[in-house]
Amino acid sequence: MLHRPTFTSCLALFVAMAWMMSGSARASTVFWGSPFNSVLLTSNAQPLDGSFSFEMGTFGSFVPTFQNVDLWSSNWKIIDRAFDPTPADPNDGDPEGWNVVDQFFVGTVVHDSLGHSDSPYAGPTDVFAQGEKVYLWVFNDKANIPGTEWALVTNTGGTGDPAREWEVPDPNDIMGSHDWQLEDADTAIIGGLNDVQGDGFFFSSPGTFSLQTAVVPEPGSALLLAASAFCFYTRRRRRPLSRPCFNRLT
């Protein structure tokens, strides 16, 4: 004997379907980029050209430093990317978010309820957990070879605006809107930011800039320099204090 569906059962089915649809559609939108005509420079103070790319992403639990640059790529998770697909022709527009002529980059990406990015450049299995620190990585090549220049910047001091914090948002922030802008960055792990040069090698020191890339140290070289400095300091401390005085007296 067939039973006709009751109003209650129909309503329950509708609510369940609506919940399933809303659950899969839960997402927040992230806008990121830099102002129009930003001052974006290379290590020799020339405007960044079409060979440079801009990536927003995270390192998960890994903490990037100037001493471990050789480990960055293996720990990097791309949220979104802006670049010029035809760097030889800077006047063909900015279909992928990097406008070489007007010196600005922009991007828009969706962070869904499962923690994934909908960017075609994000890893399909990468999960971006709430609270992960967000970085901007600017580079002309991720391979550390002669001529490679990088800038890695983030915000560590906070912005005072929850929507502008450089952190992965709550994946259940339904239809939320977030804004990661270069002008809010306050820390450079490598390169220069807001008129201040950080770690890395620079051929020129311009007075004013929004961001400046630096020559990347060869793998292990930064750590070697630090170790050499430590050894030198240790030897100085072990040397008897009376000896330098004796040498001066003789």
pLDDT in tens, 160-206: 999 999 999 998 887 689 999 999 999 999 999 999 999 999 999 99
What per-residue confidence (pLDDT) applies to 219? Answer: 65
- The pTM assigned to this predicted structure is 0.79
> Residue 16 above 60 pLDDT?
no
Q: pLDDT by residue (tens digit) across 47-106?
A: 999 999 999 999 999 999 999 999 999 999 999 999 999 988 877 766 799 999 999 999
The three-state DSSP-derived secondary structure of the chain is CCCCCCHHHHHHHHHHHHHHHHHHHCEEEEEEECCCCCCEECCCCCECCCCCEEEEEECCCCCCCHHHHHHHHHHCEEEEEEECCCCCCCCCCCCCEEECCCCEEEEEEEEECCCCECCCCCCCCCCCCCCCECEEEEECCCCCCCCCEEEEEECCCCCCCHHHCCECCCCCCCCCEEEEEHHHCCEEEECEECCEECCCECCCCCCCCCEECEECCCCCHHHHHHHHHHHHHHHHHHCCCHHHHHHHHC
Q: Which of 21, 25, 46, 24 is nearest to 213 (CA)?
A: 46
What per-residue confidence (pLDDT) applies to 93? Answer: 67
Q: Read off φ and ψ for residue 171, nearest 5 degrees.
A: -65, -15
CA distances from 139 to 22, 27, 245 (A): 38, 29, 51
> Residue 233 above 90 pLDDT?
no
> Residue 5 above 80 pLDDT?
no
Residue type (1 letter), 59: F
Which of 198 and 26 is assigned the larger pLDDT? Answer: 198
- The mean pLDDT of 126-152, rounded to a whole number, is 96
> Residue 11 above 60 pLDDT?
no
What per-residue confidence (pLDDT) applies to 220? Answer: 52
Answer whether 192's CB lies under 8 Å from 151's CB: yes
What per-residue confidence (pLDDT) applies to 216? Answer: 95
Specify the length of the chain in residues: 250
Q: Which of 186, 223, 217 is nearest to 201 (CA)?
A: 217
What per-residue confidence (pLDDT) applies to 245? Answer: 33
Tell me the domain boundaries of the chain.
25-237
What per-residue confidence (pLDDT) applies to 224? Answer: 41
Q: Which of 110, 154, 163, 159 is nearest to 135 (CA)?
A: 154
